[in-house]
Amino acid sequence: MLTRIDHIGIACFDLDKTVEFYRSTYGFEVFHSEINEEQGVREAMLKINETSDGGASYLQLLEPTREDSAVGKWLAKNGEGVHHIAFGTADVDEDAADIREKGVRVLYDEPRTGSMGSRITFLHPKDCHGVLTELVTSRTEH
């Protein structure tokens, strides 16, 4: 069962500049940052609030580390902006299987490692009314 909006992913050309915008404009601070070599991104997670299920909601700022990464290709085509929405779940495997049975394409056969050690998969945007959708089980949930 999906329990919350885990994060909104925002693609950007310059992570440091974008972090500074969110810090100076809204007061959001970086909670976590990392480079995900597999996905080809440098990212910063800005915590927005805690949630009733023990998780949190974040903005995830994503800068590609290579042009051929999914985010790099997306930026080249669309420019900066909202890249995806992610929903938190206690069991990404179970929810992905349930959603797949409803005819929605799940992009990974097995969940992959995401930010902060989470387990993630994505749903095809053409099956989700144009929205790239991520399912996330955070390390604290599994």
Residues belonging to the active site:
7, 43, 60, 84, 134
Q: How many residues does the chain have?
A: 142
Q: Kindly state the tokens that stand for 90.
A: 């206690």
Query: CA end-to-end span of the chain, whole Å?
Result: 13
